A and B are shown apart, each in its own frame.
Chain A
């Protein structure tokens, strides 16, 4: 017997830049949902992902049916962005008035910004844009928290913890632990559990993580 979802299918986009652990995040979340008895489809774009490009995983969750690996335009229910402008890029295609958005505020500059040709929007502008386009928007300093745990890549797990904290999907710390123990050497489990708990608490308590310069 599966638990209730607010939508069938419930559509999640996890986005970021190659090397941020986007694929890992989508697999962890999806495996948790499969264990809850859901039918899950993940659609991924990779191949050029390690070469600076945007990466996007589409996750479709349903109690009964297998859905397409591509979410129809304008139909995301939840966007999890490991990088701030990628949140806006995904909103442009998949946004709608009821979408919820979780944003890791750590910027990764595109080559055009590095070389001085393009300008990267300010954090204020990013917050304003996402808040204007989402029914609910949460901003986290996930990478900074992950660095404090010893590895910036754990930012993806902080964000999965935040999904749990949001309360829109039936996933909790125990389920996360079960899944992560299957994949990780025992030595790395503890840091992952910490990362998950930090993200979960930040969103559940409605108190944003301490903001630092990003």
Chain B
């Protein structure tokens, strides 16, 4: 269903934005690609991994984004073209290295692709990575359609080599996870040989050591590179204007917002009144190009996601050029014409343009609208929850039971993965997880809470963390907790894969991104080497988990519990049920039980149904994954499980 090796040069195919970016890198002759999984970026590395081949393309899922960027940088230093890929908050993780890398400069073309998530469709933030381009003083490119995503990525490598520095390509969910027509270009023959030339003086960019020092000289050189990029941007084909010669309103936009702006003009039939300056090179802005277009009119609307990044830069240029271009009226985020939070869409942009031009957006007939409102008001919601058979539901149930028995108001510091739903949606984690921030932060926060005993805090502190998250960022936090002697119970929810984003490999598995056998790094052994007690359990063993946890909660210092059970969606689990589960109607007392319908109202596995007519619980055999865990929660013992035939 996705791009493969069979597709030939010249073919017009449907590609996802992420596949198009990957194709652009392939057409540019990328040799090394590294990333850390994160929606909406993961398909770029996944696509490239299908093209990996010894000596031609090396692809890895790195332990985190900073390491991914370092791996890609090494390839660049050795003269190869390289790519590192991450979601928006991954750039924060990589930013310390990026600060120094942009000072040292690069050799082989090196691209940083960041996929942002305006509206937080699959994130717990809508952080913007565009600001890093300005902060780190490197060029920024933003594709506005699927084909351009490929062309722009390909060209970004040329730009990187022209200025000898990293180039950032920024996508958004509506670009990365949308699809459109793309015409494939040729894949170049392999020619590059890896060699790190480092025997020259520090001033030699081709043969010297690669460092950000001497800082002032290198910083000056970095800014010269940026000016060179701005000069190249003046004639870039990625910046285009469409509309009347002297429009009433000039829209300046980039990325997916270009498509929303075009649609808005079409909806309002305002083609004769508004023009669109679509910018593909959004930092640094090319001043002469902006001057030429700002001269067209007095009213300017900037359409972008999420914060006013372009808007601020355009205003600075307009202020500098005010004598030549005249005074403008600006509309955008700062004046509230467009919302400063969340993602945009054609309707929001049409409303903004309509408001400025005095045009009402098209409306559906009032009579139909009324009927629609009346007939669609009372639909049952679809709440997101752990899958049937998910080990996380079992783990949080065990934690819930242990905390209830402990009675001291203990709580869980949550982290990033499917199990974040324990913090996001109260029903999914039984109200146990109470904080949720960045990758690994649950453990760091717990480490802090774990030192508050002398201030009178008596609540037990727990942290949960998935296996991939453990390697990514929890290890330093856990080491900190050990060294500071914090009182915490650390629970690794090990489901054997980066499940949330689609089972990418990580250091705990014996296979890498290219499908090759790889050495495993064992979580239990690592924790053991930190000198703290480690217990390994099965989350489906409810009593065992509860008893272990109640014991650990009483003990001082750092205690590690690894709850190991594969994700319910993992290939080996999907094949067959381990248990056949049924409800014994004679034993289920229904509403009269006094359990308050624990199984369906509290436990809420989608495989457990409440039969309204019979007033009894029952199992939906199509949905039930056969984990058998619910047999242990029914106080009447009415849920029965038996081992399925092999």
B612 touches A116 (CB 8 A): yes
> Does A42 sit within 8 A of B, measured CB to CB?
yes
Nearest chain A CB to B257 CB, angstrom units: 9
A51 touches B421 (CB 8 A): yes
> Does B237 sit within 8 A of A, measured CB to CB?
no
Contacts of B65-85 to chain A: CB distance below 8 A? none
**Whose C-beta in chain A lies nearest to the C-beta of B421?**
A51
- Place the interface of chain A in its size category: 35 or more
CB contacts (< 8 Å) of B363 on chain A: these are 74
CA–CA, A113 and B383, complex, Å: 10
CA–CA, A68 and B597, complex, Å: 46
A110 touches B382 (CB 8 A): yes
A46 touches B177 (CB 8 A): yes
Contacts of B31-61 to chain A: CB distance below 8 A? 39-40
B385 touches A51 (CB 8 A): yes
> Does A44 sit within 8 A of B, measured CB to CB?
yes
Known contacts: A27-B1, A183-B1. The answer to whether A112 contacts B383 by CB under 8 A is yes
Nearest chain B CB to A141 CB, angstrom units: 16
B380 touches A112 (CB 8 A): yes
> Does A122 sit within 8 A of B, measured CB to CB?
no
B376 touches A129 (CB 8 A): yes
CA–CA, A129 and B418, complex, Å: 35
Interface with A: B204-212, B220-228, B260-268, B542-550, which one?
Answer: B260-268
B387 touches A48 (CB 8 A): no
CB contacts (< 8 Å) of B177 on chain A: these are 43-47
Nearest chain A CB to B154 CB, angstrom units: 19
Contacts of A123-178 to chain B: CB distance below 8 A? 129, 132-133
**Whose C-beta in chain B lies nearest to the C-beta of A92?**
B376
CA–CA, A47 and B418, complex, Å: 10
CB contacts (< 8 Å) of A17 on chain B: these are 382
CB contacts (< 8 Å) of B260 on chain A: these are 68, 70
Nearest chain B CB to A210 CB, angstrom units: 21
Contacts of A80-117 to chain B: CB distance below 8 A? 85, 88-89, 91-92, 95-97, 109-117
Mark interface residues in B372-405 (1 if CB within 8 Å of A CB, else 0). Answer: 1001100111111111000000000000000000
Which of A47, A51, A65 is close to B40, meaning CB atoms less than 8 Å apart?
Answer: A47
A40 touches B427 (CB 8 A): no
Known contacts: A40-B14, A47-B122. The answer to whether A27 contacts B385 by CB under 8 A is no
A111 touches B612 (CB 8 A): no
> Does A77 sit within 8 A of B, measured CB to CB?
no
CB contacts (< 8 Å) of B365 on chain A: these are 97
B259 touches A69 (CB 8 A): yes
B178 touches A69 (CB 8 A): yes
**Whose C-beta in chain A lies nearest to the C-beta of B42?**
A47
B384 touches A74 (CB 8 A): no
Mark interface residues in A29-70 (1 if CB within 8 Å of B CB, else 0). Answer: 011001000011111111110111110000000000111111
B385 touches A52 (CB 8 A): yes
**Whose C-beta in chain A lies nearest to the C-beta of B177?**
A44
Nearest chain B CB to A170 CB, angstrom units: 16
> Does B371 sit within 8 A of A, measured CB to CB?
yes
A69 touches B14 (CB 8 A): no
Known contacts: A27-B179, A30-B179, A53-B382. The answer to whether A132 contacts B12 by CB under 8 A is no
Interface with A: B134-142, B507-515, B556-564, B601-609, which one?
Answer: B601-609
CB contacts (< 8 Å) of A52 on chain B: these are 382-385, 387, 606
> Does B92 sit within 8 A of A, measured CB to CB?
no
CA–CA, A117 and B383, complex, Å: 12
CA–CA, A96 and B367, complex, Å: 11
Which of B262, B364, B601 is close to A68, meaning CB atoms less than 8 Å apart?
Answer: B262
Nearest chain B CB to A117 CB, angstrom units: 8
CA–CA, A50 and B382, complex, Å: 12
A42 touches B14 (CB 8 A): yes
Known contacts: A51-B386, A72-B347, A111-B427. The answer to whether A41 contacts B608 by CB under 8 A is no
Interface centre among B178, B179, B375, B620 (most CB of A within 10 A): B179
Mark interface residues in B583-611 (1 if CB within 8 Å of A CB, else 0). Answer: 00000000000000100110010101110
CB contacts (< 8 Å) of B147 on chain A: these are 66
Nearest chain B CB to A118 CB, angstrom units: 4
> Does B107 sit within 8 A of A, measured CB to CB?
no
B604 touches A111 (CB 8 A): yes
> Does B345 sit within 8 A of A, measured CB to CB?
yes
CB contacts (< 8 Å) of B383 on chain A: these are 52, 110-112
> Does B146 sit within 8 A of A, measured CB to CB?
yes
B180 touches A85 (CB 8 A): no
> Does B145 sit within 8 A of A, measured CB to CB?
yes
> Does A214 sit within 8 A of B, measured CB to CB?
no
Since A68-B263, A85-B379 are in contact, a sample of 16 more A-B pairs with Cβ atoms closer than 8 Å, ordered by chain A residue number, is A39-B180, A42-B179, A45-B121, A47-B39, A47-B122, A52-B606, A66-B146, A66-B147, A66-B181, A68-B345, A70-B346, A110-B381, A111-B385, A114-B610, A114-B620, A116-B612
Report 11 cross-chain contacts, Cβ distance below 8 Å, ordered by A residue.
Answer: A34-B13, A44-B179, A51-B418, A68-B262, A68-B345, A68-B346, A69-B259, A70-B260, A88-B375, A96-B368, A129-B376
